[in-house]
Amino acid sequence: MSKINIKVGGMSCGHCVKAVEKELTKSGVSGFSVEIGSVILATDDKTSIEKAKNAILEAGYSVLE
């Protein structure tokens, strides 16, 4: 299992972190940690990575590639 770091644009506070955590949980993603500006996933599953990116977008933030 590897750690995937997804850069997130538009996050600036603890509220942003909570909003992303809420969407990730709602989407069924597990094994994550959220910090301002990034989501770290402990997975090799491409489906989980895509779910996480979609959850970030649903929370109102952008995924930076």
Q: What is the pLDDT of residue 46?
A: 92
Full residue range of the structural domain in which residue 34 is found: 3-64
What is the signed CA dihedral for 28, 40, 58, 47, rounded to 10 degrees? -50
Q: What is the pTM of this model?
A: 0.94
How distant, in Å, are the alpha carbons of 3, 12, 37, 61 from that of 48? 12, 24, 19, 18
Q: Tokens in use for 17?
A: 């972190």
Question: What CATH number is associated with residue 13?
Answer: 3.30.70.100
Tens-digit pLDDT profile for residues 8-63: 999 999 999 999 999 999 999 999 999 999 999 999 889 999 999 999 999 999 99
Confidence label for 1 from pLDDT (cuts 50, 70 and 90): confident
Closest CA to 27 of 48, 41, 8, 46: 48
Number of domains in the chain: 1
